[in-house]
Amino acid sequence: MNVQKVAEVIVNYSTEVKEGDKVQINTSVLGIPLAEAIYELALEKGALPWVNISDERFEYLWFKKARESALTWFPTHKLQEIKNTDVWVGIRAPGNTRLLSSIAPDRISLYRKTMEKIVEHRVEKTRWVIINYPTNALAQEAEMSLEEYAEFWYRAVVQDWEKLSQEWKKIAEKLEKTDEVRILGERTDLSFSVKGRKPVVADGKYNLPDGEVFTSVVENSVEGEIYFDLPSTYAGKFAQGITLRFRKGKVIDADAEINKELVFSMLNTDPGARRIGEFGIGLNYRIKRPVKDILFDEKIGGTIHLAIGKSYSETLGKNKSAIHWDMIKDMRKEGEIYFDGELVFKKGRWLI
Amino acid sequence: MNVQKVAEVIVNYSTEVKEGDKVQINTSVLGIPLAEAIYELALEKGALPWVNISDERFEYLWFKKARESALTWFPTHKLQEIKNTDVWVGIRAPGNTRLLSSIAPDRISLYRKTMEKIVEHRVEKTRWVIINYPTNALAQEAEMSLEEYAEFWYRAVVQDWEKLSQEWKKIAEKLEKTDEVRILGERTDLSFSVKGRKPVVADGKYNLPDGEVFTSVVENSVEGEIYFDLPSTYAGKFAQGITLRFRKGKVIDADAEINKELVFSMLNTDPGARRIGEFGIGLNYRIKRPVKDILFDEKIGGTIHLAIGKSYSETLGKNKSAIHWDMIKDMRKEGEIYFDGELVFKKGRWLI
């Protein structure tokens, strides 16, 4: 595992750190080795880096014991800090992915709401990137040894992103000119319109690994049925073998092989949760199987995903919801995608 | 080692954390267990705690590689943070006390100067406390095993501070009414005036462990000679067996058994470095021998210390200098202290 090469991707490509940049690096204790390599590179460029180290035990105690007055207290100095930041690096290196299993979800969402303004400022005003750092907790979710996970992670992250980006732009350009998308596959025949929407190429600028073209859909246009064979994780829980049936853009029927309850409870969150917020295409062919981590799974080369719930403004999406849940379909065995009737994808490979 | 009891001293006694207090806890990675206990207690009191974790490798890289423009860059968000702080806890838990041995001292002092305003705000406007947490690096300096050091640390820190404070106040009150102090001991006969100066009782509010009464001296009044048998540390270096000879308050001659060069280089820092900034009395009788850490050594019960250089404003001291170097004398074998001719201390024990 060559941490140095990963740091170079982050500093030189993703965030393009330059002299004088104020660089905020966030990591949990286990991610310190990667933070160190990024910090050193930033210093060598004449930037102004600092590192915020967190430890999960404080996160757990916070959600377990903080009073409501604490969960709603806005730390103005953290807003000042993000306003004083040009480049923001977030390293996810959990010691335990199920840390918050026993915490009431409304406490977590209350605190998220308190901190919303800081996250918004980061997303809108800084050059930010989120990356994992291999830990046993992540390897365990992926059903790998730490060594296997680290190798897998490294190959998915260290790539020629500029070259890949050029290739993926062709798909995005073709998609932008398309009205109707049709998806055929195992137990699947789904159509929707993407007319007037803006496809985005996710090429390692904000996520590492990356590899995705995503857009929003015309909200009322979705018709048909789709079967998602890969596991869909949400906040430490997961469902699998989900089927959704649509009429006029709305989910009118659903089923799942594992955790049907989760699917229905999510669909019933709010009206927007029954509509599609995102259509995404996985393009990272070094990610070959799901690791129960959406940062990776939605990017598996040869898959597509739909998210129920909130759409992103950069795709010109209009759907609103408190949730955004990505569901992934493997298209490598028998999938086909048509853009306005033209076959553009077959069995995991793009024909564009 | 009962971290819980130590946290209770900090939260309940030293900083008196109460509901709504904004509590900034600073620690290096090795001190996280103590930070956790403090954090949990603060949460239970309805306070608003957060933890800043540091790692020495970033400190080293910063001093090694930061450009001058970085060392002089003032992080405004850190000033905002200390302004947003009611209670400040600093946990020292080094992995290596000699981390910065190879760094040019002027780089360290340049950066300290940059951050001065933040330190000043902390000292003047918050309820702050500094404490060690046992590490192998600290144990190594003390020539102990980690277990021995932890036991020693715990006994020095967890005490009935309110009761001790009442006892020590008697010494401070007597000292406040005193004009001339005379110190007799091995190779020592030193006199000075403390008239009009303000003795301070250091009773666990700002340092843990604590145990000291200190004051300033009338700058021109020091006459005679003193021999400091215990090691005197300064920024990772140390000297021992220091002799100072005074006339009209000024050091006119000096010697040392170990590291004479350091003594002379310190005395020559500036004119104030040849004058006494502090006279202190060590009162923590659970600290019995030096551990090469000034937080402990100056408090050894039955010792006295003088600092050359800067005096503290709360003692109404007037001496200015860039340095403040405490030198410690063991008075347990043959020391005597007289306040205006009255014997008040003999062989390590107070007669007040």
Q: How is chain A split into domains, by residue range?
A: 3-157, 171-350
Mutate to test the interface with A, among B3, B19, B43, B83 (most CBs of A within 10 A): B43
Burial pattern A53-80, b for ≥16 Cβ within 10 A else e, equals: bbbbbbebbbbeebbeebbeeebebbbb
Q: How many CB atoms lie within 10 A of CB B288?
A: 12
- The answer to whether the CB atoms of A51 and B55 lie below 8 A apart is yes
ipTM attached to this prediction? 0.91
Q: For residue range A137-151, list pLDDT tens digits in order.
A: 999 999 999 999 999
Contact B14, B79 (CB under 8 A): no
Tell me the nearest-neighbour CA distance from B44 into chain A, angstroms.
7
- What distance in Å separates the CA atoms of residue B114 and residue B132, rounded to the nearest whole number? 25
Tell me the nearest-neighbour CA distance from A144 into chain B, angstroms.
28
Cα dist from B30 to B56, B138, B339, whole Å: 10, 12, 45
- What distance in Å separates the CA atoms of residue A149 and residue B138, rounded to the nearest whole number? 37
Asked whether residue B235 carries a pLDDT value surpassing 90, the answer given is: no
Which residues from B are below 8 Å from A when comparing CB atoms?
Answer: 20, 29, 32, 35-36, 39-40, 43-44, 46-48, 50-55, 57-58, 61-62, 65-67, 69-70, 73, 75-77, 80-81, 83-84
Judging contacts by C-beta atoms under 8 Å, the chain A residues touching residue B67 are 43, 46
Asked whether residue A97 carries a pLDDT value surpassing 80, the answer given is: yes
Residue B183: which H helix or E strand, with range? strand B180-185
Tell me the nearest-neighbour CA distance from B288 into chain A, angstroms.
36
- The answer to whether the CB atoms of A65 and B54 lie below 8 A apart is no
Contact B34, B1 (CB under 8 A): no
**Across all residues in chain B, what is the average pLDDT?**
96
Q: How many CB atoms lie within 10 A of CB A91?
A: 24
Mean pLDDT of A281-304: 96
Give the helix ranges, DSSP H, for A126-268. 136-141, 146-157, 161-176, 260-267
Residue A165 dihedral angles phi and psi, to the nearest 5°: -60, -40
Asked whether residue B238 carries a pLDDT value surpassing 90, the answer given is: no
pLDDT tier, A177 (very low <50, low <70, confident <90, very high otherwise): very high
pLDDT tier, B107 (very low <50, low <70, confident <90, very high otherwise): very high
Residues across chain A: 352
Q: What is the pLDDT of residue A2?
A: 85
pLDDT tier, A237 (very low <50, low <70, confident <90, very high otherwise): confident
Judging contacts by C-beta atoms under 8 Å, the chain A residues touching residue B40 are 61, 65
Judging contacts by C-beta atoms under 8 Å, the chain B residues touching residue A81 are 77, 80-81
Q: For residue range B34-91, list pLDDT tens digits in order.
A: 999 999 999 999 999 999 999 999 999 999 999 999 999 999 999 999 999 999 999 9
CA-based end-to-end distance of chain A: 34
Q: What is the pLDDT of residue A109?
A: 86
> What share of chain B has pLDDT > 90, as a percent?
95
Q: What is the pLDDT of residue B105?
A: 83
Judging contacts by C-beta atoms under 8 Å, the chain A residues touching residue B114 are none
Q: What is the pLDDT of residue A105?
A: 83
Secondary-structure class of domain A3-157 per CATH: alpha beta
pLDDT tier, B124 (very low <50, low <70, confident <90, very high otherwise): very high
Residue of B nearest to A53 (CA): B53
Mean pLDDT of A37-46: 98
Structure tokens at A152: 């897998």
Residue of A nearest to B48 (CA): A70
